Chain A
Amino acid sequence: MTALLEVHDLTIGFGDAAPVVDGLSFSVNAGETLALVGESGSGKTLTCRSVLRILPENAKLRSGSILFNGSGGSSDLLKLSEKELRKIRGDRISMIFQEPMHSLSPLHRLGDQVAEVLRLHRDMGRSEAKQAVLAQFEKVGFGDPDRAWRSYPFEMSGGMRQRAMIAMAMVAKPELMIADEPTTALDVTTQAQVLGLIRSLQAETGMGVILVTHDLGVVANMAQNVVVMNKGRVMESGLATDVLGAPAHPYTAKLFAAAPMIPEVASAARVPSHDDVILDLRNISKTYTMRAGGWRKPVTVAACQNVDLQLERGKTLAIVGESGSGKTTCARIAMGSETPDAGGKVLFRPDKDADQIAVHEMSTTQRTLFQRQAQMVFQDPYSSLSPRMRVQEALTEPMEIHSIGSAADRRDKAAEMLSWVGLDPDMMRRFPHAFSGGQRQRLSIARALTLNPRLLVCDEPTSALDVSVQDQILSLLEDIRERANLSYLFISHDLAVVARIADEVAVMRAGVILEQAAPDTLFYNPQHPYTKALIAAQPEPDIRRPIDLDLVAKGAGSPSLWPEQYRFQGTQAPALRELEPGHKVRCHA
């Protein structure tokens, strides 16, 4: 049997520089999934885009061939004219992209955008195309296809948009689908459902799939064949069972070691103590009023409700939840940059014997002091450092603002902090653009440390990083916590990341805490259906442990689908009950 797609000796480069994809060969069979795995800069995205020749303008295909053996005969995609290739794009080979947010035009209705494929390739009339699209919408899981047809992309959640993208890619019944990080921008539970959808559609139509991803867990759940790439070259390729079962190449092994995993725990953890609480959130709620314009009624949104959290000195408290769960609002309130609704209080005790300060009722001097003692590390290291400030300026600026020490003292402190985060003090004269993503995040951490804080609020500090870099940054954060006796409030969407660093985890959804316990307790004995779904949705790089889609669907769906015990009454959530010491669940008695 000839393969559906045969890529041979593909080389791509920018200008005269060294090639970014170098002599790559692989093949995809009909009905099978090939995963291209690698970190950012590995050339995996360029590779998959070169199949349809959707490349940046300055990227040049230097050599190689991409043979497509479709039902319409065999042809080399790299040699086809633009016009011939357009007939294949969207029809025989389709593609879905990473950002469902931006990959659909916000000004056109979903129905129009999806039906366009049929009008381009099938010469269908309006009503005929609409029938086909509605049928496809139903297949990708829209409960009300008619409504989806009329909707604009911004009216939908990320997962729904990605379903619409998949419908668009599938509506012409292609023989090959290329998925470029299709679930990277989605929450884990949504990711699990979208992956399940791609798999079932593939089983139904027998198409081939090229799946580009950085996540070995996704590979284990989806692919029959794997190509591991690094810096444009193949490190290792073969059957998924072989590559994932016993990685032969050290690079694959390294990726494996770095992949965050939810540990299998044998017993519950000991009860976290709350003797010396550095940060105490008491009954925090936040309601936003959104004014949409003078002619519309303002809408109120409860970002978080009745959140009670205590952070023990020297420990890490993690808040885990999907986008929109209210976790970042909690962090902002804890930092004093938002005020909670009346009745809520944030108390901060800088040292064991010091007085508690109410963060939102501070005097100006107290506030200045608080700003020194509580620092923040942000998610995106690319935009949280000014591109026009040298490292030295960025690191000394906080001390200047608080007029600490002389210029020489400040420089010494900055150099010391650089060495703490594993960077060379000689780098002080450089600008941030000279650093990689991971190094920049180290810089952000160093900057936060220059004021000798007691508390660090980390808002998804590793979400924008590659897995191997994420691993290093987490180790660094653990290190520094011991060394400087810091306490962390750690915000994340990823249970596996949190599993490693946190002493206590609060799972949030829709503004309320659903379950709260030490991570080991949580993994050993998860109670709430949503927590169970989060754990089940985590893709594990182990072929024998596939995602349990049923469990995910039960817990991550609407709260009205939860068992009676956990259901909300209207908007009223059940109370948070202490099931066993140190393990709270939101349920009816």
Chain B
Amino acid sequence: MIFLRYAIWRFITMLLTLAVVSVLVFIIINLPPGDYLSNQIAELRATGQAEGVAKAEFLRQEYSLDQPIWKQYMIWVGIAPGAQGYAGLSQGNFGWSFEFDRPVAEIVVSALWMTVLVNLAAVLFVYLVALPLGVLAAAKSETWVDYTAGFIGYLGLATPNFLLALILFYYGHRYFDLPIGGLMAPELEGEPMSLLKVQSILLHLIVPTFVIGTAGAAAMMQRLRANMLDELGKPYVETAKAKGMAPARLLVKYPLRMAFNPFIADIGNLLPAMISGSVLVSVVLGLQTIGPALLIALKSQDQFLAAFILMFVALLTLIGTMVSDMLLVLLDPRIRYGARG
């Protein structure tokens, strides 16, 4: 029951945080002077296209860009009526993209799933690589195993992602016939889901996962190694040794379990770092994630599109931290019972 109460409490705080984030996002996006439409109107006026101006003026009213900013915010969130009544985020209406001249939802919906997919694959990669390597490096600290793992890790941290991407594309294509760019074969785009499409996506995912995940894995590995080394010096390890436990089993049962906390707490941090880190990689690799769309939207002050993407990233982050917090409560009795021991 303690856990249920905690989960509810944690969910409510997440919603509150999300509300605060929405205010910040909206303010930041509106910080540069002007907006997409006023820029466009000025340009149309300069070129003397009066009919275009009328349309832009109409859109300005339609999307309440002529209103004061606090009102714009409330309309965007959906707690004040706009030109079409209550039609904001809370009603599931994400707004209009002026750059693409389509509703935001239409532009991002497929990209959203791809983003989640690519980043989940990368997170999984990070954990699968960092966990064994970190534990191994700690258990065999200051031997060649440790040094090799450390060297590979630093190499992963230090190599620029786009460079790694280009190298992998080249060699991957040459020796393993891996596809270059995109998230699926071009002819399958827009097709309904099929076994062939799934296969194609998985094949296309290999290189991006590797590229996006390497740096994170290297950092995580070093962190886990340091945590493990701390734990290995603790008296309870001696106790377990004195019980007659075999080294491998001991390692997994006691110090690894203790070193796991920061590992889990990182889930929340990992997501935003990867999404923002993968924006450029997505552009270089030609991935249809929200990364490229965000870049365009920010450049052209396409405010509803940019705001929605930022809100989405924030939501992912908040969900990530919530999940890691709840996992910690489940895994660590000290947090569960609020002890300081």
Contacts and interface: CB of A to CB of B under 8 A. Distances in A.
The judgment on whether A and B are partners is yes
Interface of A: 52, 54, 86-91, 94-95, 97, 99, 101-108, 116-117, 120-121, 152-155, 165, 168, 292-296
A107 B244 contact: no
A107 B246 CA distance: 19
Interface in B245-267: 245-246, 253-254, 257-258
Nearest to A85: B244
Contacts of B175: none
A168 B239 CA distance: 10
A103 B242 CA distance: 11
A105 B254 contact: yes
Contacts of B338: 292-293, 296
B334 A89 contact: no
Contact of A155 (B8, B243, B337): B337
B341 A153 contact: yes
B9 A90 contact: no
Complex A-B, nearest 8 residue pairs according to Cβ-Cβ distance, in ascending order: A154-B341, A292-B338, A90-B243, A89-B244, A295-B9, A90-B244, A95-B242, A154-B339
B113 interface: no
Interface of B: 5-6, 8-10, 13, 234-236, 238-246, 253-254, 257-258, 331-334, 337-341
Given A154-B339, A295-B5, A295-B6, A97 B241 contact: no
Contacts of B337: 152, 154-155
8 contacts: A86-B246, A106-B333, A107-B258, A107-B333, A108-B253, A120-B244, A121-B244, A295-B10
Contacts of A97: 235, 238-239
Contacts of B5: 295
A292 B239 CA distance: 30
Q: By DSSP majority rule, is chain A's interface helix, strand, loop, or mixed? A: loop
A154 B243 contact: no
B242 A91 contact: no
Given A104-B239, A106-B341, A107-B333, A87 B258 contact: no
Contacts of B236: 102-105
Contacts of B339: 152, 154-155
B234 A102 contact: yes
Contact of B242 (A89, A152, A295): A89
Contacts of A165: 239
Contact of B243 (A106, A116, A153): A116
A153 B235 CA distance: 14
B265 to A, nearest CB: 15
B252 to A, nearest CB: 12
B238 A107 contact: no
Contacts of A117: 243-244
A479 B254 CA distance: 50
A120 B238 contact: no
Contacts of A102: 234-236
Nearest to A294: B9
B241 A107 contact: no
Contacts of B254: 105, 108
Contacts of B242: 52, 54, 89-90, 94-95
Given A101-B341, A294-B13, A54 B238 contact: yes
Interface of B is mostly: helix
A165 B238 CA distance: 12
A106 B236 CA distance: 9
Nearest to B261: A107
A87 B246 CA distance: 10
B121 to A, nearest CB: 30
Contact of A99 (B235, B240, B241): B235
B333 A152 contact: yes
Given A86-B246, A107-B331, 17 more contacts: A86-B244, A86-B245, A89-B244, A90-B242, A94-B243, A105-B240, A105-B254, A107-B332, A107-B334, A108-B257, A116-B245, A120-B244, A120-B245, A152-B339, A153-B341, A168-B239, A168-B243
Nearest to A171: B243
Which of B10, B241, B246, B331 gathers most chain A CB within 10 Å?
B241
B274 to A, nearest CB: 29
A379 B241 CA distance: 32
Nearest to B10: A295
A89 B9 contact: no
Contacts of A154: 333-334, 337, 339-341
B341 A54 contact: no
Could you say which of B238, B243, B332, B340 has the most chain A C-beta atoms within 10 Å of its C-beta?
B243
Given A102-B234, A155-B339, A295-B6, A120 B243 contact: yes
Nearest to B242: A95
A89 B6 contact: no
B229 to A, nearest CB: 12
A152 B236 CA distance: 14
Contacts of B240: 105
A86, A105, A168 — most chain B CB neighbours (10 Å)? A105
Among B234, B240, B245, B246: residue with most chain A CB under 10 A: B240
Which of B240, B241, B242, B341 neighbours the largest number of chain A CB atoms within 10 Å of its CB?
B242
Given A152-B333, A154-B334, A107 B239 contact: no
A251 to B, nearest CB: 29
Contacts of A294: 9, 13
A88 B244 contact: yes
B239 A89 contact: no
Contacts of A54: 238, 241-242
A139 B4 CA distance: 37
A101 B339 CA distance: 13
Nearest to A295: B9
A240 B339 CA distance: 43
A77 to B, nearest CB: 13
B259 to A, nearest CB: 11
A124 to B, nearest CB: 14
A87 B244 contact: yes
Contacts of B340: 154
A56 B236 CA distance: 14
